[in-house]
Structure formats: C-alpha cells, structure tokens
Chains A and B, each alone.
Chain A
C-alpha cells in the first residue's frame, strides 16, 4: 500500500468552477499535511498546510482534514486557467520526513 495516494487525473474543470483534489494516507500517526503546487518543469511550491481536523481557508483555497478517515482534500474556488498544474499532497509524521503522493494534474478550461 502506498503511503500517500492521489488520483493522477487529469481533473478537468471549467473556469470559475470549484476543483476538488483528494488525498489519502496510510500512517495513522501522521500529524502534518501539506499541499504543494507544481507547474510543468518547475519545482513544487507550498500553497496550504493543515494540522488539525476541519477546514482551513486561505483565499480561494480550502484544505480539509479528517484524521479518522485518513483523508485530506484541497478545494480551489473560482478556478482559473493559471491554477492548471499538478497538486502534490505531502504528509509528515513525527519527524521531518515529508512523503509525497504522485500528484493530481488539474486542468482548468477557459
């Protein structure tokens, strides 16, 4: 079983719609959760972090965490073509070790 799982996509949404990206993890003691965005040919950049159950909002982005279900998600409201990228879920558990999922490719259609 992979430690961090994501649907590879592509996930296609029309401009202005809500994009929903999902991630599940296997290590129950995982404590910190991150969403990174990676444009083609570029390095990942952090867009959201979440540490406790519930929702965390930052502008158009909302991260949701459910530790009981070992599930974390990212919602992007009012999706723009510039949001087209691969979104990587990363998890840490008690150390500085960041484990990444395979990423979900998002395409926002103008």
Chain B
C-alpha cells in the first residue's frame, strides 16, 4: 500500500514570495490533515478535510495560507506571501474513515515525509 505522498521535499524562498505544497493521501482515506511543525515543537494542525469539505481550519492564518482538496483526494497548501516565521516542516497526514469503534476514534494517522520550507 502506497503511503502519503508529499512534494516538494524542500523549498527555499525569500519572504513575500509564494509557495505551494502538494499532498496525495493513502488511497481511500477520507480525512486529510495539514500540520505545521516548527523546529523543536509538536505538529500544529492547520486544516483538516473530510472528503472535500473543511472540518477545522481554526488555526490556519487565512490572510496568507489557503488550502484546497478538490475531488476529495489530493490537496494543495499555499502560502502567499511567506513570512520568516513560516519556516517549518509542513506535514500532510491522512486517516481512514471507518476508524471509529464503539464511539472511539481508533483511526491511525499516517504522515507523509513532510515538506521543509525555509524562508529567507
């Protein structure tokens, strides 16, 4: 079974430029997440999709970040314009839909390799 695919793996840009990251989840996984992980910190949820609908984007800086998941499969995260503090690893993860057992979320979160962004 193919894992979560992300690209590019590395990106270096100057502040105020734009960048886009792509993610293809595991086949059949309805739920897709974008996390931001700054060095030395835990992953911070930016946006969560279920199929092609947004479940949670409360921590997405909407003035500069946008994300879409057309057709409920792959997803793109865009930053425009980038700031120095956006330097981080952007992790995409997916989870299978029938991950509920007896009312508990038992779905494992599978991560891609991440996209490391450096803003100069």
CB closest residue in chain A, given B89: A43
Stretch at the interface among A13-21, A58-66, A70-78, A93-101: A93-101
* Chain B positions 76 through 117: 1 when the CB is less than 8 Å from some CB of chain A, otherwise 0: 000000000000000101010001000111111101111000
CB closest residue in chain B, given A4: B42
- CB pair B45 A97 closer than 8 Å: yes
Minimum CB–CB distance from B69 to chain A (whole Å) comes to 14
Q: A96-B50, A97-B45, A100-B42 are in contact. Are A51 and B106 (CB under 8 A)?
A: yes
A44 to B113, CA, bound (A): 9
- CB pair A102 B41 closer than 8 Å: yes
A9 to B68, CA, bound (A): 36
Which residues of B are found within 8 Å of A46, using beta-carbon distances? 108-109
Q: Which of A88, A97, A101 has its CB near the most chain B CB atoms (within 10 A)?
A: A97
- CB pair B56 A101 closer than 8 Å: no
Q: A96-B99, A97-B56 are in contact. Are A44 and B111 (CB under 8 A)?
A: yes
CB closest residue in chain B, given A44: B111
- CB pair A102 B31 closer than 8 Å: no
Interface size class of A (residues with CB under 8 A): 20 to 34
Which residues of A are found within 8 Å of B40, using beta-carbon distances? 8, 102
Interface SS of chain A: helix, strand, loop or mixed?
Answer: loop
A98 to B105, CA, bound (A): 10
Apart from A43-B112, A51-B106: 18 A-B pairs, beta carbons within 8 A: A34-B108, A36-B109, A43-B111, A43-B114, A44-B111, A45-B111, A46-B109, A49-B106, A51-B104, A92-B105, A94-B105, A95-B56, A96-B48, A96-B50, A96-B55, A96-B105, A97-B45, A102-B41
Of the A-B pairs whose beta carbons lie under 8 Å apart in the complex, a sample of 28, sorted by A's number, is A4-B42, A31-B103, A31-B105, A32-B105, A34-B108, A34-B109, A43-B111, A43-B114, A44-B43, A44-B109, A44-B111, A45-B111, A49-B108, A88-B42, A88-B43, A90-B109, A92-B105, A94-B105, A95-B56, A96-B50, A96-B55, A96-B95, A96-B107, A100-B42, A100-B44, A101-B42, A102-B42, A103-B41
Could you tell me which A residues sit within 8 Å of B by CB distance? 4, 6, 8, 31-32, 34, 36, 42-46, 49, 51, 88, 90, 92, 94-103
